[in-house]
Amino acid sequence: HAFGRPSAAPEVHVVGIDNEACGRLAARELSARGYTRLGFLGGPGTATSTQDRAKGFLSAVGPGVDATDSYAAGYTFDAGYDEMRRLLSIGPAQAYFCADDLLAAAELSAPALAPSRPSAHSGRPLPDGEADPHYLLAVNPDGVNEVAPVVHNSAVFPIVAGPWVPNTAGAKWIA
């Protein structure tokens, strides 16, 4: 598997993607869906793939859309989780483009435990089985079948003995 920039030495054939175009596509799609506060979460800022995706993303946000960029310390679940928790603590964006699959998995896990997402009427997580109005899950990337997530049965989801971060008194998993 080859990463980074094409080079003449050693001579190898590489099939890659256009990282800037990926960033532009993500920003255009999120802007077109009406989001006005976007966030980019990339791996280390020294990685050229991260730099290119951020450049494309930040260059293509729509008019009237604010976008921020942030970078995890590494391409790991823990680094992405820590960075996303930091972002949630300072005021979350409405939508994020995560430039790596492990970072995306971490991004999806962090809000489930974020203290900024309690039920508006009680300051506590919603009861099991109740739809969470703070989120909308896109089952299909073209917007078809968007559904409100439901707070899951705390006794069985997530896998109670791990490997997921467990529910707490202040936050529960949704899906």
Candidates 171, 86, 90; CA nearest to 134 is 171
Provide the 8-state DSSP code for 42.
Answer: E
Distances in Å between the alpha carbon of 31 and those of 67, 119, 147?
10, 27, 20
Q: How many CA atoms lie within 13 A of 155 on its CB side?
A: 1
**HSE (CB half, 13 Å, CA atoms) of 67?**
25
114: confidence class by pLDDT, cuts 50, 70, 90: very low
Q: Which of 48, 26, 37, 36 is nearest to 97 (CA)?
A: 26
pLDDT-derived band at 113 (thresholds 50, 70, 90) equals: very low
Q: Is the pTM of this model over 0.75?
A: no
Residue 77 pLDDT class (50, 70, 90 cuts): confident
Residues with Cβ < 8 Å from 159, sequence gap 6 or more?
Answer: none
